[in-house]
Amino acid sequence: GKTPPLPRTVIWNNKDIRLVFATPEVVRNDLHDNRLSLNDFSLLIIDEAHRAVKDYAYTTIAKQYISQSEQPLILAMTASPGSDTKRIHDVCSNLFIEHIEYRTEEDVDVKPYVNPINVNWQWVSLSSEYNYIRLILKNMLDDKLRWLFQHGLLRKRGGIRWIFKRDLIDVGVEIRYNLELSQEETRASLYFALMQQSLALTLLYCVELIESQGSASLKAFLDRIENDSSHFGSSIAGSGSKAHKSLINDPRVKEIRTLLSTLKLEHPKVKCLVEILRGKISEQLVQQPLVQIDSNNDNDNRNYKDKNFDHNNSITSTTTSTMDSDMMMSIVFTQYRDTAQHIVDILNSNNIKASRFVGQAKKQDDVGMKQEEQAQVLEAFRRGKFSVLVATSIAEEGLDIPEVDLVIFYEPIPSEIRYIQRRGRTGRRSSGSVIILAAKDTIDERHLNASKRRIEKMNQTLSTINSVLKSIKRTALSTPILDLMTNEEISAIEVSRAKSEVRMEKDLEIHVTSTLTKGVPKGTLLLDRDYTVQFVRDVNNAARKIHSLLVKKGRSGEDVDIIKDILGFDNNILVEALKKLEKLKRIQWLDDATIVLSDNLRRMPGEVHNIYIENILSGITLVTIDGKWHARLNHYDYDGPRHLLKKGTEFKAVSELYHDGKTFCVRIKQIE
């Protein structure tokens, strides 16, 4: 990426260069700007192939390569394809994979070349102080979850016990979608619902921090959200900032923050981590008693890279222990930067030389690490200037991390892809060890079990996927024999090809390409600059109008071309609106050209009633049921088109009648 466009063009056009290594973003950009043609390339090799989903650069490059090359050949490699069957199919489809060769460490043609990796789990139990803080947070979280259930926003079987982060994120998407479709007088209640969802998500995160990370990480997070709410102020803050201000002012959170300020007890995983490392590298370290530090105080060894690089980019020793190339090298992986910094502080204070390694992105008070700083830390690690690299996900893949003897997971991770990537940092040249730290009866335990299940599922999926992969067409290498087929056969092929091209055109226009406009070449991408505020508004407006139109079409749906003619949208806007509705699971495809509302396909149980809109108030609509009963329609009981919520409108719907205390209410389940 640092190579300017002109030198890159020279490289692409140099026929003497037979092998080119490039980042996918560079290749995609040069294809888009016509600096590169893949016509003469005989082989495309893709590393970390599991990334080839959605709009990642690999997918665009593969499409261009298949369309430009007469004899395309793609070799895609990954050690962690994932467990999700649909995702694996998407990767294979996006990269035009025709066959998979799958191997495990136990296969006879692999086993002689791999080193054994010993994986162990270290279980710890939370202290009574930690359990008390967790109990307060869980009680607060349960209050928010009950509110979301009572107002029909959470509908999962099993109640609040089985609500996870993904469920709350989906609720937030649903509320925001309803806000886009709502009228001004109904938005106040939706904003309040969004605030409850935001609070629930924040509290769930706080529970995870105290269970899995420790008091220092939870304290740092609460300090940040207090600073955020104070900085923005309630007048201009969004629902998230208002939720944070509400949370910080809660007496229960104030009690927790007081406890965190006085609590000197580290998470039990911290002590376990220090004991493991001291035991593993004791021959290189000066034996000293464990030292506990106050996470509120600045530490002299706060970040090894910050103060120990001299002007020649070398690290100077800060302890009396000596380092050499034979010492044991370790990586400690953790999810969060706050935890990474705290671990570095603890290790350095216990005479274990450690340095933090994080990504480049700036996150609030953490400026991250520049690429040059990352390179310096890795070089120092490689040269044995310190023995422990404490890293976030940035060190899991893609970087030239030195071989290590020991990998420690500070917390389990549910992602089988990240588990494999972390594990793969050891056992390359010799046998390696992996130790996973986990707290009993916490989110750690759930994540550990989830990663095990997903790895098993991944193995099952990969063993059967070849049966559904399809071959791609290639130009014949030899000169074809003329008049080999009859005219009837040729005509049949031409008809089949024409149908295939029409189908592909529809697929590109509606399902894949985010930019197709007439006269623009296939593969052209919408650039970031095209996503202006006005464009986003147009897409949201189109989504609302498409939704309203499909409501009237029932289960038969409507042809996309007809929708385009009726509404008169630009292709770019139409495609983005359809993609948005698909992502929200609001529409489904009946065939290559027809879409229908997802709710229209499912016949909801219940009786059909005639609904007449009498009046609309803030968050409440007053209705008459079957011309007999007066009832209240709350905003959370209606998920249909907003244009029906107008005074004097009448429609039929599958409905549920119920009493909310003293009030007779109706819940609209499906518009007829």
Nearest CA-CA partner of 586 in 615, 630, 617, 549: 549
At 203, the amino acid letter reads L
Please tell me the distance from the alpha carbon of residue 344 to that of residue 352, in angstroms, as a whole number: 9
Please tell me the distance from the alpha carbon of residue 601 to that of residue 322, in angstroms, as a whole number: 70
Is residue 217 exposed (0-12), middle (13-18) or buried (19+ Cβ within 10 Å)? Answer: buried
pLDDT grade for 473, boundaries at 50, 70 and 90: low
Pairing of strands 650-660, 620-625: unpaired
Q: What tokens were used for 176?
A: 């925001």
Cα 30–chain centre separation:
27
Given a cut of 60, whether residue 501 has pLDDT beyond it is: no
Query: Average model confidence (pLDDT) for the chain?
Result: 80
* Alpha-carbon distances of 256 from 206, 216, 228, 306, rounded to whole Å: 11, 12, 19, 32
Name the least confident of 10-14, 311-315, 462-466. Answer: 311-315
Tell me the average pLDDT across 346-362: 90
What proportion of the chain, given as a percentage, has pLDDT over 90? 34
Q: Exposure string (b/e) for 173-200, b if CB count within 10 Å is 16 or more?
A: ebbebbeebbeeebbebbebbbbbbbbb
Name the least confident of 42-51, 171-180, 508-517. Answer: 508-517
Neighbour tally for 576: CB within 10 Å: 24
Given a cut of 50, whether residue 526 has pLDDT beyond it is: no
Inter-residue contact 652 to 612 (CB < 8 Å)? no
Q: Is the alpha carbon torsion for 570, 591, 52, 33 positive or negative?
A: negative
Please tell me the distance from the alpha carbon of residue 461 to that of residue 125, in angstroms, as a whole number: 36
Inter-residue contact 97 to 52 (CB < 8 Å)? no
Q: Which helix (H) or strand (E) holds 609?
A: strand 607-617
Please tell me the distance from the alpha carbon of residue 377 to that of residue 391, in angstroms, as a whole number: 11
Tell me the average pLDDT across 505-513: 46
460 CB-side CA count, 13 A: 9
Q: What is the DSSP letter of 282?
A: G
Look at residue 293 in the predicted model and tell me its pLDDT: 42
Please tell me the distance from the alpha carbon of residue 555 to that of residue 599, in angstroms, as a whole number: 9
pLDDT grade for 437, boundaries at 50, 70 and 90: very high
Please tell me the distance from the alpha carbon of residue 413 to that of residue 231, in angstroms, as a whole number: 33
pLDDT digits over 50-87, tens only? 999 988 999 999 999 999 988 899 999 998 888 888 88
Look at residue 298 in the predicted model and tell me its pLDDT: 40
pLDDT grade for 475, boundaries at 50, 70 and 90: low
- In the block, which residue shows the tokens 């996470």? 295
Pairing of strands 594-597, 587-589: antiparallel
pLDDT grade for 513, boundaries at 50, 70 and 90: very low
* Alpha-carbon distances of 162 from 156, 166, 592, rounded to whole Å: 8, 11, 37
Is residue 452 exposed (0-12), middle (13-18) or buried (19+ Cβ within 10 Å)? Answer: middle
Nearest CA-CA partner of 167 in 143, 186, 149: 149
> Which residues, in sequence order, are CB contacts of 536 under 8 Å at separation 6+?
none
Neighbour tally for 418: CB within 10 Å: 18
The phi, psi pair for 236, rounded to 5°, reads -120, 0
Inter-residue contact 61 to 44 (CB < 8 Å)? yes
Residues belonging to the chain: 672
Nearest CA-CA partner of 46 in 85, 10, 16, 81: 81
Q: State the pTM of this model.
A: 0.63
SS3 state of residue 538: helix
Q: What tokens were used for 655?
A: 């409905």
Domains delineated in the chain: 5-98 (3.40.50.300), 117-124+266-455 (3.40.50.300), 128-262 (1.20.1320.20), 528-601 (1.10.10.10), 607-671 (2.40.50)
SS3 state of residue 89: helix
